[in-house]
Amino acid sequence: MLKPYVHKVQYYETDRMGVTHHSNYLRFMEEARVDYLEQIGYSYGRMESEGLASPVISVNIDYKKPTTFADEITIAVRIVEVTPVKLLIGYTMERQGEAVCAATSLHCFVDEKGHPISLKRVKPELYALLSSLTEKRS
């Protein structure tokens, strides 16, 4: 079983409205995604050393409740869909069981030169792994 990621909100992440600035959730998503990939055995470091990257091509974020300094945000990551050329990741963020934010990020796969690649062709074992973890196989 994968462990959800926990981000404790820092003072420097709040703004003068007294809440976590909305731009930081996009960073929490990256933190949780990095942690998730590490947990499934395919860390960013490993991807980089294998000449592979998976840049963000779009994001959607729904802010449901404000959070603030010292709040612990639990972030559950899931693979929503993977195709040979795209990866859709979902994020559910909760504070003490209450939903505070829901988001998705869409990624492509590129080689060291930044050229788009087919993950299925170039890294079939990672493609198979992500597929096995997917809610909606494709």
Q: Residue 78: name the closest of 114, 101, 103 by CA.
A: 103
Q: Residue 64: name the closest of 92, 105, 100 by CA.
A: 100
Burial class (CB in 10 A: 0-12, 13-18, 19+), 85: middle
Subset of residues 21 to 50 that bind its own copies, contact rule: CB under 8 A: 21-24, 26-27, 30-31, 34, 43-45
Q: Minimum CB separation from its own copies for residue 110, in Å? A: 10
Binds its own copies by CB under 8 A, chosen from 1, 12, 49, 136:
12
Regarding 10 and contact with its own copies (CB under 8 A), the answer is: yes
Active site residue 62: no
| Binding string, residues 71-110; x marks residues near its own copies by CB under 8 A | ----------------------------------------
Q: Minimum CB separation from its own copies for residue 47, in Å? A: 12
- The residues annotated with a catalytic role in the active site are 15
> What residues line the site for its own copies (CB under 8 A)?
10-12, 14-19, 21-24, 26-27, 30-31, 34, 43-45, 53, 55-63, 66, 68-70, 114
